[in-house]
Chain A
Amino acid sequence: MKGLSAKWSRCMLVLAVLVAGAGIGNARAQAAVHPVIPDTLQQRIAACTACHGAHGEGTPESGFFPRLAGKPAGYLARQLKDFQDGLRKYAPMEYTVRQLSPEYLQEIADYFAAQEVPYVHSPMPRLAPGALKRGEQLVTQGDPARQIPPCSACHGTQLTGVQPDIPGLVGLPYDYISSQLGSWRTKTRATVSPDCMALIANRLSDSDISAVSAWLAGREWPADMHAQAPGTVTPPLHCGVLGKQGDGA
């Protein structure tokens, strides 16, 4: 008897919802009682998009949550693995990706890599005189005396990155670039060894980091912001993330 009345009241509830839905036409209220969940990756990865944006646009105005859109898939998958392994340190990210499989991480990386999101300019810092010139010099020529290769040697002639593992450096906020270089020095960001970016970041002075980051952040964007084709650069250092590439010079 009790079971029957429970079933009956459930029927009435469903009916009431349907009537309310049809009568008032309030689709949202109906959806909220019986949510319809799209079977899409975007829906599945709400834990990612809450901070990084539905299309990986990030928060360019503050630079706090990095843009993921359009970054090479191999690079993104590597970063997720590095958070899993504790090489990159950021507790909320480490927690979020901890139990994900390599296949799922790759699918998530592919999703963000495929997003086409317009780039936006971010605020620039006040700079010491001559800083931009020093930044340009480091990015395009490096500093051979301190064994600092030019950024463009790996990150591409247009600094838009190289498929599948090397990220672009243009279109990123000053705060983001400078904090990444800083985190290599404080060991909160690392990757498989040899970690050539850690080597380079430690050869840069504090003012060099500001100079490079500012020049990159303020640089005019090339017409095509996509990463260059694979194999179009010959890295001057042997980097763990690049496998067999790089001549180890």
Chain B
Amino acid sequence: MKRAIVAVAAVLLLLGGWWFLRGVGHAPISPSASKVEAATLKDPTLIARGEYLATVGDCASCHTTQGGARYAGGRVLATPFGNVPAPNLTPDRDTGLGEWSFEDFWQALHSGIGRHGELLYPVFSYTSFTKVTHDDALAIFAYLQSLPPVHQPSKPLGLDFPYSVRNGLKAWRALYFREGTYQADANRSAEWNRGAYLVQGLGHCNECHAPRDALGGSQSNPALVGGQIPAQNWYAPDLSMQANGGLAGWSQQDIVALLKTGQSSRGTAFGPMAEVVAQSTQHMHEDDLRAIAIYLQSLPPRAAPKADSSPLDTKTVLVRGAQVYVERCADCHGKDGNGVAGIYPPLSGNSSVNEPTGINAIRVVLLGGFPPVTAGNPRPYSMPPFAQQLSDSDVAAVVTYIRRSWSNQASPILERDVIKYRHTPID
């Protein structure tokens, strides 16, 4: 009996080892061996479509370093597991995608497997990009291959053991990765399906707008419920437009306006979303933006938030917060917290003010800043940073006041929360 158990255990171990070490994906395919003809990739119409789709996917945002050549990689993406540099997507033979065929590219985008069969780290959002259609992927590849080649070697991976062992991703993929292109829902309109395709696929919205667990897996059911962005320390709000949703009360037009101009009557894009709007969504076609809004409108209502059970007595804090608000905030955001249409966002009912953590409100008070510059808002009004002017306790007081005034009923903020985010690095 004992011997049988040992034998079974040994077989399981061997099987496990085989599974763990076994290679994946196909061998590299050179452009000349590709089923896609070179002439196809040179088609200007395909390239133009690919440029648009690469913009929708905001590829350049990660694959461009600060001040560097677009798509030439080099931006280092911080994760809780270490730093991952984004690779060079230009067709440079030594350091970019110059030797890649479309089959190699498809394997990376659709299956999360690199050219040499290595498992890719999911900071590259193939969990979403797997939904992109074959035709759209081909267009993006044709566009990337049309870029001027830039010689820029990849920076080394900054991951520690055990995350540095790529095959460890097999377990991660078994838990969190479902390969497959977007399947249209026949019961929904073409517009809804287009919106769902953009949001779930290229737009990769759920990569930020959902909580991530300890292994970095992102919750996808229900999707888009909002979540803290790891390492960056911003909160990407819930995107439901129905009862108790982060965007409850938003109209389709508000969604389109925010994505097109960076501003809407309900809120303004800032932080990482400002970058998304500036680099990606402002360039999207109006009908695609409307499709996104239609899809978001169908997200289900959310559970009512639990009544705040905080034992804290916020009376004194609120008095101080109200003072700071009148001195520093009311001239622009109004005593009623309604902002000024087209200029300053309302704070009452603002999803970024009321998000569960308070990080966004704290950091916006500390950092101030500009909404994104867009064709629809080329000279935005900005907010002064208060990091140098307000103490931690005053920031906590005014943020608590804002989160609990007018229609807002969010949790109070403590001085120690402000201390924590005062020194957060900016990228």
Contact = CB atoms under 8 A, between A and B. Distances in A.
A191 to B, nearest CB: 11
B166 interface: no
B373 A101 contact: yes
B385 A92 contact: yes
B426 A95 contact: yes
B359 to A, nearest CB: 15
Interface residues of A, number: 34
Contact of B385 (A29, A33, A47, A104): A47
A104 B278 contact: no
B181 to A, nearest CB: 33
A44 B385 contact: no
Contacts of A96: 367-370, 382, 385
A27 interface: no
Interface string A21-45: 0000000010111110100010111
Instruction: Describe B's contact surface by its main secondary structure.
Output: loop
B387 interface: yes
A86 B373 contact: no
B369 A35 contact: no
Interface stretch (A48-56, A122-130, A145-153, A178-186): A48-56
Nearest to B375: A101
A61 interface: no
B336 interface: yes
Interface stretch (B45-53, B249-257, B326-334): B326-334
B157 interface: no
Contacts of B326: 32
A241 interface: no
Contacts of A104: 373, 378-379
A32 B331 contact: yes
29 contacts: A31-B331, A32-B330, A32-B335, A35-B331, A35-B340, A37-B340, A41-B379, A43-B381, A45-B382, A46-B332, A46-B383, A46-B384, A47-B383, A47-B384, A84-B66, A85-B67, A86-B65, A86-B66, A87-B67, A95-B369, A96-B368, A96-B382, A99-B274, A99-B278, A99-B370, A100-B370, A101-B373, A101-B378, A107-B379
Given A45-B382, A95-B426, A97-B370, 8 more contacts: A33-B335, A35-B333, A37-B340, A44-B379, A46-B368, A94-B427, A99-B278, A101-B378
Interface of B: 65-67, 274-275, 278, 326, 330-336, 340, 343-344, 367-373, 378-389, 425-427
Interface of A: 29, 31-35, 37, 41, 43-51, 84-87, 91-92, 94-101, 103-104, 107
